[in-house]
């Protein structure tokens, strides 16, 4: 057993076969960077994962006319994303995220390995 597996509680281990990717892109407000990071790591990502949508990757744009941040989440079933969007929890999470960002967009696409850009 690898040490990484040993440190993860049994109930947290889960493997999915990604079929859909939710891509969220935006620019962060520089004046609220610390609060933004705390919210994303302590609330946004964990709550999405509890609802069956798992963070796959985070991209940061260093140069060019593109959103500064892009986060991708994956799930097996489109119905999981549809239920997420219809939930009160999502409405609250999205509203909080929007208080820290601008140039926000969200797109759901069929999953494929590698970088997928949504504009």
- Torsion angle in degrees (nearest 10) through CA of 114, 101, 32, 23: -20
pLDDT tens digit string along 27-82?
999 999 999 999 999 999 999 999 999 999 988 888 878 888 999 999 999 999 99
Please give the residue that has the higher pLDDT: either 36 or 116. 36
How far apart (Å, rounded) are the C-alpha atoms in residues 28 and 100? Answer: 6
State pTM to two decimals. 0.82
Domains of the chain, residue spans: 14-110
Residue 111 DSSP one-character state: -
Tokens of 8: 């993860």
Q: Out of 3.30.2290.10, 1.10.260.40, 3.40.50.300, 3.30.70.100, which CATH number does the structure's domain 14-110 have?
A: 3.30.70.100
What pLDDT does 65 receive?
Answer: 80
Residue 48 contacts residue 87 (beta carbons within 8 Å)? no
């Amino acid at each position: 057993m690898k040490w990484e597996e040993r440190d993860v509680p049994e109930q947290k281990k889960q493997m999915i076969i990604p079929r859909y990717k939710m891509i969220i892109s935006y620019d962060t407000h520089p004046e609220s960077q610390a609060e933004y990071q705390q919210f994303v790591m302590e609330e946004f990502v964990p709550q999405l994962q509890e609802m069956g949508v798992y963070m796959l990757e985070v991209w940061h744009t260093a140069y060019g006319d593109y959103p500064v941040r892009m986060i991708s989440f994956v799930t097996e079933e489109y119905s999981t994303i549809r239920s997420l969007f219809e939930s009160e929890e999502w409405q609250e999470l999205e509203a909080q995220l929007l208080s820290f960002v601008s140039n926000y967009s969200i797109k759901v696409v069929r999953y494929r390995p590698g970088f997928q850009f949504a504009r």
